[in-house]
């Protein structure tokens, strides 16, 4: 048995939990409960991120098919969330395991105090032998802040709890070179060390009709988790023992290795949770210095400033082509930056007083884009 006594975050999508236009698939929930119980018996701490609240609730509100309108989905989720939790609690109780509900929104992750509180709660539940069951708070989430079938949510949770692995379960056994449903010659990609533009291209659009997260959102989730040092598995689990195999590196799916990455908690917060208060555009020289040479951003490289921010706020940095290349904590107010944009550090020191000459120091910078010359 090669499993460390670590934490595993498992994410189950709607397509794995529901019957088309019929609500929850209780048999599937019982299957997953027994798989989770097996992991627990090996000494692993297990957290579950689950979708399925909308699918669980819409039939009991009298909708014939899964609703499309936001308020109908939110009404379905508010009924379905309780049914979903009840199904998990009953299924896990048969294995002598308790379950707790945690509902989160994206804005909870932008608030460092909320994140800390969530982390403390999860630690206590795990310490007490209870499985935290985490879902998006669908009834209050607004569309532009949604997690996209909880793939992103599962990655943020995995980073938050410093998980050893994130297992994203879906209805396809991994990432293929093309859509295996249409192309017989499509090959499964077993291991991914680095997430490239090509990988996003291969992933294409959404997969099943039940869920909202296609392979693209799984790759985005893998990218976030890898930056936090968490390795990721994306694939299927449909036979007894499959989940254990996934944890041991033998699963039916694709593995994303976190070896080369690993950001500190501060840089994870900067890159993925913080809300940017403004935007700075930089020239090609500064872009290259930030992305390939590990340099700080100096006023000389700034070409444009947007937004209302203060020293100490997080800002987004864009290339001349308008692509977001990273984020950092800014040391200037917008008026100061506009006054000295493009000037050498000597000139800046003559004109204004700032605590640090760097616009963004490299220790307070996180890269979100690979360099394209």
Decide which of 224, 245, 266 is a domain's last residue: 266
Full domain range(s) for residue 137:
7-266
pLDDT in tens, 67-83: 889 889 889 999 999 99
205 and 282 in a common domain: no
Identify which has the larger pLDDT, 372 or 348. Answer: 348
- Sequence-distant (6+) residues with CB within 8 A of 27 are none
Higher pLDDT, residue 159 or 111: 159
Residues 280 and 179 both lie in one domain: no
Confidence (pLDDT) at 108 = 83
The pLDDT of 241-270, averaged and rounded, is: 84
**How high is the pLDDT of residue 2?**
39
Do 287 and 231 share a structural domain?
A: no
In a domain, 373, yes or no: no
pLDDT number for residue 261 = 60
| Same domain for 245 and 176 | yes
Last residue of a domain, one of 222, 243, 266: 266
Residues 315, 186 share a domain: no
Verify that 185 and 308 share a domain, yes or no.
no
Using pLDDT thresholds of 50, 70 and 90, give the confidence band for residue 143.
low
Alpha carbons 224 and 206: distance in angstroms, whole number? 19
Residue 204 has a pLDDT of 67
The encoded tokens of residue 196 equal 């490239």
Residue 10 has pLDDT above 70, yes or no: yes
pLDDT of residue 206: 42
Q: Is 355 among the domain residues?
A: yes
- Domain for residue 1, yes or no? no
Q: What is the separation, in whole angstroms, between the first and last Cα of the chain?
A: 46
Name the domain count of the chain. 2
Non-local CB neighbours of 82 within 8 Å, separated by 6+ positions: none
Domain presence at residue 110: yes
Query: Tell me, what CATH number does 285's domain have?
Result: 2.30.130.10
Any idea which of 145-154, 180-189, 245-254 has the lowest mean pLDDT? 145-154
> What per-residue confidence (pLDDT) applies to 106?
80
Q: Is residue 20 part of a domain?
A: yes
Q: Is residue 148's pLDDT more than 80?
A: no
pLDDT at 211: 38
Q: Which two tokens stand for residue 128?
A: 């007490």
Identify which of 171-180, 193-202, 312-321 has the greatest average pLDDT: 312-321
Highest mean pLDDT among 2-16, 99-113, 149-163, 276-290 belongs to 276-290
Cβ neighbour number for residue 336 with a 10 Å cutoff: 20
Rg (CA), the chain: 22
Predicted confidence at residue 66, as pLDDT, reads 86
Q: What is the pLDDT of residue 57?
A: 92
Cα distance between residue 331 and residue 361, in whole Å: 8
pLDDT at 20 over 90: no
Residue 135 pLDDT greater than 80, yes or no = yes
d(CA 314, CA 365): 9
- Taking only the tens place, the pLDDT of each residue in 95-120 is 999 999 999 988 788 777 888 899 99
Higher-confidence position of 110 and 279: 279
Which of the listed residues 211, 233, 266 is the one where a domain comes to its end? 266
Q: Are 316 and 327 in contact (CB under 8 A)?
A: yes
Which range has the top average pLDDT, 15-24, 80-89, 106-115? 80-89
Q: What is the 3-state secondary structure (H, E, C) of the chain?
A: CCCCCCEEEEEECHHHCEECCCEECHHHHHHHHHHHHHHHHCCCEEEEEECCHHHHHCHHHCCCCCCCCHHHHHHHHHHHHHHHHHHHHHHHHCCCCEEEEEEECHHHHHCHHHHHHHHHHHHHHHHCCEEEEEEECCCCCCHHHCCCCCHHHHHHHHHHCCCCEEEEECCCCCEECCCCCCCCCCCEECEECCCCHHHHHHHCCCCCCCCCCCHHHHHHHHHHHHHCCCEEEEEECCCCCHHHHHHCCCCEEEEECCCCCCCCHHHHHHHHHCCCCEEEEECHHHHHHHHHCCCCECHHHEEEEEECCCCCCEEEEECCCCCEEEEEEECCCHHHHHHHCCCCHHHHHHHCCCCCCCCEEEEEEEECCCCCC
Which residues partner with 133 through β-bridges? 48, 101
What is the overall mean pLDDT for the chain? 87
Q: Does residue 55 form part of some domain?
A: yes
Examine residue 310 and state whether it is found in any structural domain, yes or no: yes
- Cα separation, 77 vs 55, in Å, equals 8
Q: Residue 355 and residue 341: Cα distance in Å, rounded? A: 17
- Are 240 and 283 part of one and the same domain? no
Report pLDDT for 213.
47
Within this chain, do residues 181 and 42 fall inside the same structural domain, yes or no?
Answer: yes
Give the number of C-alpha atoms closer than 13 A to the C-alpha of residue 184, restricted to the C-beta side. 0
Mean pLDDT of all residues in 349-362: 89
Do 249 and 306 share a domain, yes or no?
Answer: no
Residues 258 and 127 in one domain: yes
Structure token digits, residue 308 = 């209302």
pLDDT of residue 1: 35
Q: Please write the tens of the pLDDT for every residue from 47-69.
A: 999 999 988 999 999 998 888 89
């Amino acid at each position: 048995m090669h499993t460390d006594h670590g934490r595993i975050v498992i994410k189950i999508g709607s397509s794995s939990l529901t019957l088309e236009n019929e609500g929850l698939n209780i048999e599937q929930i019982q299957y997953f409960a027994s798989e989770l119980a097996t992991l627990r018996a090996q000494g692993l701490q297990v957290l579950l991120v689950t979708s399925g609240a909308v699918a669980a609730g819409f039939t009991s509100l009298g909708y014939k098919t899964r609703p499309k309108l936001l308020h109908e989905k939110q009404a379905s989720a508010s009924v379905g969330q309780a049914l979903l939790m009840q199904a998990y609690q009953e299924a896990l109780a048969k294995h002598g395991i308790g379950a707790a509900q945690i509902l989160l929104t994206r804005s909870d992750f932008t608030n460092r105090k909320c994140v800390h509180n969530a982390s403390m709660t999860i630690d206590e539940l795990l310490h007490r032998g209870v499985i935290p069951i985490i879902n998006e708070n669908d009834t209050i989430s607004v569309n532009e802040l949604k997690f996209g079938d909880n793939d992103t949510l599962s990655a943020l949770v995995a980073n938050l709890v410093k998980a050893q692995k994130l297992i994203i379960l879906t209805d396809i056994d991994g990432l293929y070179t093309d859509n295996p449903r249409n192309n017989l010659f499509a090959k499964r990609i077993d291991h991914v060390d680095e997430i490239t533009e090509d990988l996003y291209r291969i992933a294409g659009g959404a997969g099943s009709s039940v869920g909202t997260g296609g392979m693209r959102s799984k790759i985005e989730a893998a990218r976030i988790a890898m930056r936090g040092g968490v390795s990721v598995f994306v694939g299927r689990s449909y036979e007894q023992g499959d989940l254990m195999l996934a944890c041991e590196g033998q699963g039916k799916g694709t593995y994303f290795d976190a070896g080369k990455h690993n950001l500190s908690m501060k840089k994870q917060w900067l890159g993925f949770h913080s809300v940017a208060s403004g935007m700075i555009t930089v020239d090609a020289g500064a872009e290259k210095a930030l992305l390939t040479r590990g340099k700080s951003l100096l006023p000389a490289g700034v070409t444009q400033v947007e937004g209302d921010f203060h020293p100490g706020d997080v800002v987004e940095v864009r290339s001349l082509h308008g692509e977001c290349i990273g984020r950092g904590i800014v040391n200037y107010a917008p008026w100061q930056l506009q006054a000295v944009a493009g000037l050498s550090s000597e000139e800046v020191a003559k004109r204004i007083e700032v605590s640090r000459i760097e616009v963004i120091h490299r220790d307070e910078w996180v890269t979100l884009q690979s360099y394209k010359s």
